[in-house]
Amino acid sequence: MRKKIVAGNWKMNLTVQEGLQLSAEIADFVKNNPLEKLNGNPAVIMFTPFTHVYSVSDSVKGLKGLSTGAQNCHTEEKGAFTGETSVSMIKSAGALNVLVGHSERRAYFGETNEVLARKVKAAMDAGLTPMYCCGEVLEERNASNHFEVVKEQLEKGLFWLSAEEFAKVVIAYEPVWAIGTGVTASPGQAQEMHAYIRGLIKDKYNNEVAENTSILYGGSCNAKNAAELFANKDVDGGLIGGASLKAEDFCTIIQSF
């Protein structure tokens, strides 16, 4: 049975103090509503800014099913890379997860599939779980190239992994045209792409690996539409942006399975 996951991507928001307040509210919810007793037994991840990882990780230590992650990592373990953060630094701060290939990293920082493959390797070598993001922009969807775009992102970024290694990866599908726009892919569009991704995994590896891979939806998922999106058989949760900054909304999403 593949894992259900609700992940909050705080992006470049919240001071450390504000982040600790938010994590405390989420932690209180989890204490009062043990995740293993909720529908779907979801895991919850908070992807915080680098400055917050240690303090937020420490504040939720010991809460079953609740963990933290970094929003990015460097490909190298150490060196003269001013301003960058290595996977060992992330792990030492208490995080268990790291985002790789978020659409904003691809668009604003020019990260290629080849660079992202190296980040995946670095994360896995450090024992972190990479959450690999893939998805198309509006022009690619309008040109009906969205399947090919996602296929290339997966082939170059992940499909060099062995089946054993791939089993440790989580995938987040991001229709880039739906991020921060208020436009959400319809449940049918989300299911179509998630099923397509699962089919690619089956073709590359096998049915068991495909059926055990968690694939999250990441495109303007919120407290109002999460339940409808999560009801799709191939949608295993969400990578939540803006709605993850409000404890009430985020906790509603956690209960949406």
Using only C-alpha atoms, the chain has a radius of gyration, in whole angstroms, of 17
Q: Which is catalytic among the residues 52, 102, 146, 194?
A: 102
93 contact partners, CB below 8 Å, separation of at least 6: 53, 54, 57, 70
Nearest CA to 73 among 30, 123, 26?
123
211 is catalytic: no
Q: Which is catalytic among the residues 104, 136, 140, 174?
A: 174
C-alpha 213, offset from chain centre: 13
146 is catalytic: no
User: In whole angstroms, what is the distance from residue 90 CA to residue 50 CA?
Assistant: 8
User: Is the CB of residue 150 less than 8 Å from the CB of residue 173?
Assistant: yes
Token pair listed for 98: 């790291």
Helix then strand then coil, in percent of the chain rounded to 5, is 45, 15, 40
The sign one gets for the Cα dihedral 87, 96, 203, 152 is: negative
Q: Is residue 99 within a helix (H) or strand (E), and if so which, with residue range? A: strand 97-100
User: In whole angstroms, what is the distance from residue 88 CA to residue 97 CA?
Assistant: 12
Nearest CA to 177 among 169, 189, 194?
189
User: In whole angstroms, what is the distance from residue 245 CA to residue 233 CA?
Assistant: 27
Report which residue type is found at 119. K
The residues annotated with a catalytic role in the active site are 102, 174
